């Protein structure tokens, strides 16, 4: 799968793209065990996708790929923080 397509669709549906990349062999050899991508799939999908792409298409987490990883963390924290703020507004 081309990198630009993965990036665009990854912003829309990170868990689906993460699963497709993992099954398609894009992430082969990135993680030593399957435990980390499974945990990342449920808790930090943007960060896991960014980390996997940094190792699959780049030379690791450095340069532009580091910025992508930071963006992934920010998106994950924003998604979970936004849902907590929304539930507080509904109760109050």
Instruction: Measure the CA dihedral 28/34/36/42, to 10°.
Output: 110
Query: What tokens appear for 85 in the block?
Result: 């703020």
Going by pLDDT thresholds of 50, 70 and 90, the confidence category of residue 92 is low
Nearest to 48 by CA among 68, 28, 23: 68
Q: What is the pTM of this model?
A: 0.84
Residue 81 confidence (pLDDT): 73
Domain boundaries, the chain: 3-91
pLDDT tens per residue, range 22-68: 898 899 889 998 899 999 999 999 999 999 999 999 888 999 999 99
Backbone angles phi, psi at 67, to 5 degrees: -65, -40
Q: What is the rounded distance in angstroms from the CA atom of residue 61 to the CA atom of residue 71?
A: 13
């Amino acid at each position: 799968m081309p990198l630009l397509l993965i990036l665009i669709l990854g912003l829309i549906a990170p868990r689906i793209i993460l699963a497709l990349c993992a099954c398609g062999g894009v992430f082969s050899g990135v993680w030593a065990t399957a435990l980390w991508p499974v945990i990342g799939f449920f808790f930090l999908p943007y960060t896991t996708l960014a980390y996997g792409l940094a190792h699959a298409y780049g030379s690791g987490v450095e340069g532009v790929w580091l910025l992508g990883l930071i963006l992934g963390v920010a998106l994950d924290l924003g998604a979970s923080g936004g849902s907590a703020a929304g539930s507080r507004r509904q109760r109050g």
